[in-house]
Structure 1
Amino acid sequence: MKYYTIPLVAFLLILLHSTVSNAQGNTITIIGKVVEETGGNPIAFATVMVADVKSKKPISGTTTLDDGSFELKTDANNFYIEISFLGFQNKVFGKPPGLTKTIDLGTIALSENAEQLQEVVVQGEVSRTEFKLDKRVFNVGKDLSTTGASALEVLNNVPSVNVNIEGQISLRGSQGVQILINGKPSIIASEQGNVLGTITADMIDRIEVITNPSAKYDAEGTSGIINIVIKKEERKGLNGSISVNTGAPNTHSVGVSLNRRTEKFNLFSQLGVGIRELPNDIETRNVDLVNNQTILSKGTEYRNETYYNIVLGTDYHINETNVLTLSGNFAMEIEEQPSSTAFAAIGPNGETSAEWERNEVTEAKNPKLQYEFQYKKDFKGNEDHTLLFSALGNFFGKDQSSEFINTTISGADNDATQQTRTDFKEAVFTYKLDYTNPFTEQWTLETGAQYVLNDVSNDYEVNNLINGSYENDPDLTNIFEYNQKVLGLYGTGSYEGEKWGIKAGLRLEQTDLGTLLATSGEANDQKYTNFFPSVHSSYKFSDRISLQAGYSKRIYRPRLWDLNPFFNIRNNFSIRQGNPDLLPEFTDSYEITSIYILGKTSLNLGVYRRYTTDVIERVSTFENNVSTYRPENIGTNRANGIEFNTKYNPVKWLTLTGDFNYSQFKREGIFDTTVFDFNGDQWSAKLMTKFKLPLDIDLEMTGNYQSSYQTVQSTINDNLYMDLGLRKSLLKGKAVLNLSIRDVFASRIDESQIAQAEFEIYNTRQRGRFVAFGFSYGFGKGEAMEYSGQRRRL
C-alpha cells in the first residue's frame, strides 16, 4: 500500500493567502439590540446578517448575546441588514445614505404581527425548483426546513431523486450519483458513512441537481451530480442534538452531534454506536437443458453488524476572506454473517436425487478512516470570486475469515468444508484546486485541476478440508493489486444575462490503470487520455417559463469489483467474478428540459438522448450446473427518454409530488460470436403524498413502480412497493418522533431470468419490510437530527 501526502505547492498556496489581512479603511461597525416586542425581553441567538443587495447572498453575520446585543463589522459597500429569529418576523434595514463608520440600529423589536421598519422579508413557505445554466436548483422552503427532516429526507422531496431503504441515492432511477457538499467531495457525503443523516433541512440552503454535468466536474459517472449547499449562518455557542432509533429487523442506534462556534473557530463532532441486521431471502434455480438437471438453492443470508463512528472537525476563520477546514472520521464495523442455504439436485422427471445444506460462519472487522483538509479564499468585493483547495483521504480495510460446511441430507454425499481468508486494504486520495472569477456581472471564468489516486490490495485465500487437514486451493488463491491515477484539468466560461445564458467548457483527463495478480504474475495496464467537452444554455421566457439545453461527454471507469477476478464462494453454483480486461464506457449525453410555474404547481418536462460505447454488461456462462457471472464490454447502447415531474399543493395540508421517466433503447453488440442486437424500453414512476395533520403531525406515503426491462441475457422483473412515514414535532420542532415503514406490503422483490438455448437461470432476492422508530432532540440552537449509522461498504 502506497501513501501520499499533500503536495508542497498546496501548503505554499495556503501560507501565501493566510497572510492576507482585512483592510480597515472602509470597515463599518453595526451595533444594536434585539428584543421581543411583547414584554421587551432580550432575544439571544437571533441571527444578524449582512447581505449583498443585488445577489441577496450573505456577506457576513453574527448572533446576539444573552442580553440581545450584537456587534458586526463589514467592508461591503452595497448591502442590507436582516434580523431574524425562529417564530418571529424578519426585519430588514437598508444601508444609510452618506458616509458613516458606525450604524446604530438601536433596540429592534421582533414580533409576529408588528409593523416592520423599512421592509419585511418573509421566507417562502414552499420549496421550489428553478433553472440555472447547467443545473436545476431546489430551494428548501419552510415546508421542509421546519420539520426536523434530515438531508436524506429532503433529497427524497427533490424531483428526479430517490433515497432507498439503505440510504442509497439514485437520480432518475440510476445509482452511482456523485454527492458534493458546497461543490466538493466531503466526509459528510462519503459512501462510507451516513453522516448525511445528521444534516437537517434547516441547515440546507438549496440542493443543486446536475443531470448533465459541465466540464468543471469530474467526468466519471453518467447518473449526474447532487450538490448540497449549506447555509452560511452563524450559530455561536454550543449547539447539538441526540438521536435514538430502534427498529425491526433488529436495528438500534444512538447518535450525538455537537457544534461549538466562536468568532474564529467552528468545532463539530459526531459520536455514534449501533447494531443492525439485514436478512436477505434468496432463491436460485439453475437448469441444464441439455442434461435435464436442475440445482435449486434457497435460504436466508444475514449480515449483522455492530458499528462505532466518530467525526471530529473544525473550521478556522483566519479572517473574513480566508477559512481553513480540517476534519476526520473513524469508524469500525464488527461483522457476522450466519447464513444458511438449502440445496437440492432435481432430475429430468422432477425427482430429487440429492439434498444438502450449506452453512456459513463469517467474521470480519472493517476499519474506516477519512480525513478532509480544505482552504478557501473569498476575494474582497465579490463573494463568488473564490479560490478553493481541498484534499480528501479515504482508507478502508477488511480482515475477514469464513467457514463453509456442507452437510448431506439425502442422496449423494455432498459433505465438504471450506475456509476462506480475506485481507483487503484500500486508499483513495482526492486533491482539488478550483478558481472562480466572475470578472463582470454577466461573465464568469472557472478553471482548476483534480488528481485522484486509488491504491488497493486484496489478499484472498481458499482452503479445502481433505482427510482431516486443510489444503490450499491454488486456483482460487491469489493477491489482486489495483492502482489507478486520474489527472484532470478543466476550464469553463459562461455568460448569464437576465433572460439568456450560455456556458461552455473543456476537461482533459489522463488515466493510468494497472492491475496485477501477484501470485500468477498476470498484469494488465491501461493508459488513456480523453477530452470531455460540455455546452449548456438556458432561456427565461418569463418568471413562469424557462428552458434549458445541454451536452456533455462522460466516462464510466470499471470499479474495483468489476475488475477483481476473485469471488465469494457462499453459493458455489452461482459465482460472480470480475474481469481485469474491462474497458471504460463513454457516453455522449444530450438534454432539453423545461420548467413551468402554474400557480401552486411546478412542472418539469425534459427529453434526453444518450449514446454509450463499450457498454459493460454481466454475462453468464454455464457449465456443470454452475453459472458464472462476469462483466464484459458488449457493443453500444442508444437511449432516448422523456422525464416529467411535478409538485402540487392544492390545499395547505396536502402536497403531491410525482416523477415519471420513460426511455427506449437500442442495443448492438457481439460477444463470443453471439450477436446481442435488440430493442427495449423501461419506465419508472413515483408518487409521494404528504398530509399535514393536526397536532404537528405529518404523514407521508410514497408509491414506487419500476417496470421490467431486458439486458443482453436477462429479463429483470418489475417492482411495485410503498413506503410510509409518520412524524410528530414537539417543543416547536426541537424534538421529533418519527415512525417509518419501508416496503409496507413486503412487495419489493428483485427477480431476474436468463433463458438461453442450453440453460435457464432464475434468481430472486427479497429484504422484506423494515420498521423504524426514532426520537431526536436538539439543544442550544441545534435542530432535531437523524442518526442511522454507517452505510455498508462491502
Structure 2
Amino acid sequence: MQFAQTNYKRLTLNMKKLLLLTFTLGIFFTAQAQFPGGFGGGAKKITVTGRITATILDSVTKKPIDYATVSLITVKDNKSVNGGVTDEKGKLSLLNIAPDSYKLMIGFMGYKTKTVLVTTTPSKPDNNIGTIYISGSENTLADVQVQGTKAVIENKIDRMVYNAEADGTNAGGDATDVMRKVPMLSVDVDGNVQLRGGAVRVLINGKPSGTMASSVSDALKMIPAEQIKSVEVITSPSAKYDAEGSGGIINIITKKSNAQGVSGTVNASAGTRQNNGAFNITAKTGRLSVNANLGTNLAYAQNSRVVIVNNTTVIDPVDNTVTANNVSQDGYSKWSRKGYNGSFGADYDFNAYNNISTTVKMNSFSNGGPGAANYIINGAPANNISDMDMTFDNLDWNVDYKKTSKKEGEEFSISGQLSTGKTPLHFSNILFSDLYPNGAATSSSNTGKNKEYTAQTDYTYPFTKSTILEVGVKGIFRDISSTYDNGGAQDFDYSQNVASAYGVISFDLTKKIKFKGGLRGEYTKIDFNTRDNGIETNDYLNLFPSAIISRTLKGNATLKLSYNRRVQRPSQSYLNPFRNTSDQFNIMQGNPQLNPELSDNFELGYSTFIKGSVINASVFYRRTGGVIESSISSTRDGSTNKTLTSYLNVGTAQTYGLNVFGSYNPKPKWTLMSNIGLNTYEVSNTATNVSTGTFLNYNIFARSAYGFGKGYNFELFGVVNSPRRTYQGKTDAMIFYGASFKKDILNKKGSIGINTLNPFTKDLHIQTVNNSITSTGTVFQSQNIYYPLRSFGVNFSYSFGKLKFTEKKKIKNDDIKQDQQQGGMGGVQQ
C-alpha cells in the first residue's frame, strides 16, 4: 500500500510536469499555426477555402485508376499549388483550395496525361468535377499490367506495402496467416513475428492498443484477415516515430474509411480450423463522418500434442551435493479460441482548417481448455489432468485535434489516448502417481491490469515544398499491476513514465538526392516492487538519431542509405514475477530486473521498376546490446527437479543480413513473386565469456496468382523458415503452404471462395532443443509440438455503397517490447 501511495504521488508529479510542458509548447505551436507566415512571419488573413473532388476511370474498361498522380496548377502563373493521388476507387479529394482558376493535370504510367480546367469561387468553394476518363498510351500499353486490382506488393522509399485485400489466399484466415506472407517477415509456430531477424513494433493503423499488451501472437489470432487492408513494413523509421523495435516497425492497416452517404462491408468464413465474421459500416453527411465495426473469431478445439524431455541436475548451494532427475511427458491440450472486437468512431471538420476525431474500441479474447499428460518421473509413471483459461479484455479511447493552415503542408495536432486492460489467468492440475494415488490438486490465478495515459503534440512546417521541419513532444504514463490469488510475495506493481521530444528536417541536396534526418530524446523513469528487494527505482535518458539519404537513378530506380538507433523496453509479460505452474514441471516466470535493448541499424537499399516488375534488394547491419531472450534453468521443488523459464539480458548481438524481393508478370493476368531473406545470428557476453558462434537464418516466400477472366482467380503460396538459433538452443525449420480459388459476384461487389492450408500435412511438427549450464545446475530440454495446421474453408464477402479512403493522423505508442511485440490502432504518422 505504501508503494502504491508513493508511486501515485510520483506519477502525479511527473504527469503535472510533462503536461505543463506539453501545454506550454501547445500554446506556442497553436500561435504558430494561427500565423502561417512561418517563423518570424506576420499574420495572414484567412480566406474561404474549399475542396476539389473527382473520380478517375479507365476510358475503356471503366475501372478505377488507383494511385494516379494529380497536380493542381493555377492558370494565371502556371504554378503547382496542390496535388495528390487517387485511392483504390479512383477517388481524389484536394483540400484547402483557395478560390481561383486551375488546371487539373492527371497522369499515370501507361496513360496519356489529361488536363481539365476547374474553377472555384468564394460563393462556391467546393467543386465536384465528377468522373474523368483517361486513355492508355499506345506505345506503353504493352508494358502495363491491367487487372483492375491493386498490386499485392508496393515498394516505397521508406517501406514495403503488402496489400492483403488484393491477396485471395488470406480469405478465411486471421492476422497471423496474413503476417506469414508479408515480405521480410518471419513468423514462428506460436505466431511471434520478427523482421529480418530482429524484434519489431507492431501497430494497427499506426496506434498501440492494450489488447496486445500481454501477447501479440494471441491478439493477432482474433483479427479476421478480411478486416486487413494492408501491412506496411518500415525498416528505416525517422525520429518522429517512437524508438521501439530493433528490427523496425510493422503497421497493420484495417479496412476503415470515410464515405459520402452510407457504405460498408460484410465478411464471413467457415472452415475446419476457425470461423470469422466482420461487419463494417461508414456514414458521412457534410463534414461529419461516423463509422463502426464488429468482428468475431471462433477457433474449434483441436488437440495439440506436446512431447517434452527434461534432464536436469541441481547443485545444493550449502553442501554442493548434486541431484539428477529425468522427467518426460507426452500429452495434449484441447484449446478453443474465441473473441470479439468492436469500435465506434466520429470525425468532424469544423471548417477547412480544423478537424476533431475520436475512436472507442473494445476487445475481448479468451482461449484455453482441458489437457492431459502422461509422465515418467525418474522411471516412475504418473499422469496429470489440467485445465486453463486466459482472457484479455481491453478498451482504447482516442481523441485527436488537427489544425492546418493556408500554407500547404503546415499542420499542428494535439492527441490524447487512454488504454485500460485486464488479463485474468486461471489454471488447475490434478497429478496422479504412486505418492498421490487419489490425486494431488493444485490451482492458481493471476490477474494483470494495465492503465496507460498518453498526451502528444506535433507540428509540421514546410519552409518550401522540399524543406520540411517536424517537431513534437510526447508523454506516456503506464501503471501495471499483477495480483496473485493468495496475495503476498508474487504481487507486482510497476510504473513506467516516458517523456520524449523530437525534431526532423528533410530537404533536397540536389534534384536527385534527398535527405531526411532527425534526433529523438526519450527520458524513462521506472518504479517497481519485487519480492526480495522491495521498491526499486531506475531512470535513464536515451538519444535516438536517424538519417536517410536517397538518390534517384535512371530507369525508375532508387538507391538509399539509412541509419537509426532503436530501443526495446520489456513489457509486462517479460517483467511479471508471477510463478506460472500451469505445467508444474516446466515453470514460467518474468524478470523485473531486465534492462532495455539498444540497437544501431545501418541499411543500404536498392529498388527499381522495370516493365511491370518490381525488384527490391537491401543489405543491413545491426548491433544490439542487452539482447533479451528466454532462458531455462534448473530449480528444486520438493523432491523433484524442475525447469524454470524466464528472461535475461544475454549479451550483445551482431547481425548481418540480405533481403531480396521480386515481382514479375509473365502475362498480364499472371503474377509471380518471391522474397528471400538471410541474416546471421551471433550473441556474445564479455562478462561471462560466452559466445554462441555465428549461424545463418533464412526465410523464403513464393507466390503465384492467375486471373482466368470473368472474375475467376487462383493462387498458390509457400513459406519456408529456417531453423532458428537462440543463445541456449535451436528451433527446427517450419514449412507451410496454401491455395485459394475465388470468384467475383454481384457486379464485383462480392466474392465467394474456397481455401486450404497444408492440405497434405495434418500437423506442423516443430522441435526445440535447449541446453543450459549455470552455477545452480544443468538442463537439457527437448520439446516437440504437433500443431494441427491443416484446414479447409469457404468464405464470402460483400461491399455496399461507395467507399472513399482517407487517412487521419493519430497518436501512437511504439516503445515497448512485448511478447515478441505489440500492436495497436489509429492512423500512422509519417
TM-score by length of 2: 0.77
Q: Gapped runs of 5+ residues in structure 1? A: 65-69, 116-121, 348-352, 463-471, 785-790
Show the counterpart of 2:41. Answer: none
On the 8 A contact 1:593/1:604 being kept in 2, the answer is yes
Superposition map of 1:638-657 within 5 A: 638-657=654-673
| Distance of aligned partners of 1:549 and 1:90 in 2 relative to their CA distance in 1, 3 Å threshold | closer
| Distance of aligned partners of 1:76 and 1:680 in 2 relative to their CA distance in 1, 3 Å threshold | farther
The residue matched to 2:200 in structure 1 has which SS? coil
Q: Identity over the aligned pairs, expressed in percent?
A: 21
The residue matched to 1:581 in structure 2 has which SS? coil
Residues 118-150 of structure 1: CA deviation (Å, up to 9, x unaligned): xxxx99964664443xx1354969966999999
| 1:404 corresponds to 2:416 | no
On the 8 A contact 1:286/1:625 being kept in 2, the answer is no
Residues 723-746 of structure 1: CA deviation (Å, up to 9, x unaligned): 333322212331122433334424
The residue matched to 1:712 in structure 2 has which SS? coil
Amino acid at match of 1:509: E
Show the counterpart of 1:777. Answer: 798
Inter-partner Cα distance in structure 1 for 2:610 and 2:657: 24
| 1:768 corresponds to 2:784 | no
Question: How far off is 1:611 after superposition?
Answer: 0.9
| 1:296 corresponds to 2:324 | no
On the 8 A contact 1:47/1:83 being kept in 2, the answer is no
| 1:355 corresponds to 2:385 | no
Inter-partner Cα distance in structure 2 for 1:361 and 1:732: 49
Inter-partner Cα distance in structure 1 for 2:709 and 2:57: 31
On the 8 A contact 2:355/2:402 being kept in 1, the answer is yes
Matching residue within 397, 409, 420 for 2:444 = 420
The residue matched to 1:242 in structure 2 has which SS? strand
Q: Gapped runs of 5+ residues in structure 2? A: 37-43, 74-79, 138-145, 314-321, 806-820, 824-830
The residue matched to 1:235 in structure 2 has which SS? coil
On the 8 A contact 2:555/2:610 being kept in 1, the answer is no
| Distance of aligned partners of 1:365 and 1:639 in 2 relative to their CA distance in 1, 3 Å threshold | closer
| 1:728 corresponds to 2:732 | no
| 1:636 corresponds to 2:652 | yes
| 1:368 corresponds to 2:368 | no
Inter-partner Cα distance in structure 2 for 1:130 and 1:33: 24
Question: How far off is 1:314 after superposition?
Answer: 0.4
The residue matched to 1:562 in structure 2 has which SS? helix
Inter-partner Cα distance in structure 2 for 1:101 and 1:498: 40
| 1:659 corresponds to 2:675 | yes
Inter-partner Cα distance in structure 2 for 1:34 and 1:600: 21
Matching residue within 282, 288, 292 for 1:265 = 288
Superposition map of 1:75-224 within 5 A: 75=98, 80-81=103-104, 93-95=115-117, 126=151, 129-132=154-157, 135-136=158-159, 138=161, 159-161=183-185, 170-172=194-196, 174=198, 176-179=200-203, 181=205, 185=208, 197=225, 199=227, 201=229, 208-224=232-248
Inter-partner Cα distance in structure 2 for 1:112 and 1:492: 38
Amino acid at match of 2:430: I
| Distance of aligned partners of 1:237 and 1:131 in 2 relative to their CA distance in 1, 3 Å threshold | closer
Inter-partner Cα distance in structure 1 for 2:57 and 2:764: 54
Residues 423-457 of structure 1: CA deviation (Å, up to 9, x unaligned): 22111233322222221122111111222222111
On the 8 A contact 2:681/2:725 being kept in 1, the answer is no
Residues 224-267 of structure 1: CA deviation (Å, up to 9, x unaligned): 12356799986211111222222223x33433211111112110
Amino acid at match of 2:373: T
Amino acid at match of 1:691: Y
The residue matched to 2:241 in structure 1 has which SS? coil
Superposition map of 1:457-496 within 5 A: 457-461=481-485, 478-496=490-508
Inter-partner Cα distance in structure 2 for 1:330 and 1:675: 46
Matching residue within 578, 581, 585 for 1:573 = 585
Residues 442-490 of structure 1: CA deviation (Å, up to 9, x unaligned): 211111122222211111136xxxxxxxxx9x7xx52111111111111
Inter-partner Cα distance in structure 2 for 1:151 and 1:386: 36
Superposition map of 1:384-395 within 5 A: 384-395=409-420
On the 8 A contact 2:57/2:133 being kept in 1, the answer is no
Question: How far off is 1:390 after superposition?
Answer: 2.0
Show the counterpart of 1:787. Answer: none
Question: How far off is 1:56 after superposition?
Answer: 7.1
Matched positions, count:
740
Residues 16-65 of structure 1: CA deviation (Å, up to 9, x unaligned): 89999997856579799999999xxxx9xx9999864559744999x99x
Inter-partner Cα distance in structure 1 for 2:490 and 2:270: 41
RMSD: 4.8
Matching residue within 449, 464, 470 for 1:446 = 470
Question: How far off is 1:311 after superposition?
Answer: 0.8
On the 8 A contact 1:554/1:586 being kept in 2, the answer is yes
Amino acid at match of 1:373: V
| Distance of aligned partners of 1:773 and 1:428 in 2 relative to their CA distance in 1, 3 Å threshold | farther
Inter-partner Cα distance in structure 1 for 2:661 and 2:85: 34
Residues 167-197 of structure 1: CA deviation (Å, up to 9, x unaligned): 876533555333253x555799996576685
On the 8 A contact 2:765/2:785 being kept in 1, the answer is yes
On the 8 A contact 1:241/1:782 being kept in 2, the answer is no
Question: How far off is 1:343 after superposition?
Answer: 1.6
Inter-partner Cα distance in structure 2 for 1:484 and 1:680: 36
Matching residue within 478, 485, 499 for 2:512 = 499
The residue matched to 2:465 in structure 1 has which SS? coil
| Distance of aligned partners of 1:386 and 1:426 in 2 relative to their CA distance in 1, 3 Å threshold | same
Show the counterpart of 1:594. Answer: 606
| 1:679 corresponds to 2:694 | yes
Question: How far off is 1:81 after superposition?
Answer: 4.9
- Which shows bigger deviation, 361-370 or 571-580? 361-370
Superposition map of 1:329-340 within 5 A: 329-333=361-365, 335-340=367-372
Show the counterpart of 1:319. Answer: 351
Inter-partner Cα distance in structure 1 for 2:169 and 2:793: 22
The residue matched to 1:733 in structure 2 has which SS? coil
Inter-partner Cα distance in structure 2 for 1:743 and 1:146: 12
On the 8 A contact 2:168/2:742 being kept in 1, the answer is no
Inter-partner Cα distance in structure 1 for 2:133 and 2:240: 45
Residues 357-397 of structure 1: CA deviation (Å, up to 9, x unaligned): x2223345543211111112222231x32222222222111
Matching residue within 515, 518, 529 for 1:516 = 529
On the 8 A contact 2:577/2:592 being kept in 1, the answer is yes
| Distance of aligned partners of 1:100 and 1:37 in 2 relative to their CA distance in 1, 3 Å threshold | farther
Inter-partner Cα distance in structure 2 for 1:639 and 1:546: 25
Matching residue within 602, 606, 617 for 1:605 = 617
On the 8 A contact 1:185/1:392 being kept in 2, the answer is no
The residue matched to 1:614 in structure 2 has which SS? strand
Inter-partner Cα distance in structure 2 for 1:257 and 1:343: 49
Question: How far off is 1:538 after superposition?
Answer: 0.6
| Distance of aligned partners of 1:131 and 1:346 in 2 relative to their CA distance in 1, 3 Å threshold | same
Show the counterpart of 1:350. Answer: none
Amino acid at match of 1:618: S
| Distance of aligned partners of 1:737 and 1:75 in 2 relative to their CA distance in 1, 3 Å threshold | same
Question: How far off is 1:594 after superposition?
Answer: 0.7
TM-score by length of 1: 0.80
Question: How far off is 1:166 after superposition?
Answer: 8.5
Inter-partner Cα distance in structure 1 for 2:233 and 2:735: 26
The one of the two structures with greater contact order (alpha-carbon pairs below 8 A, sep at least 6) is 2
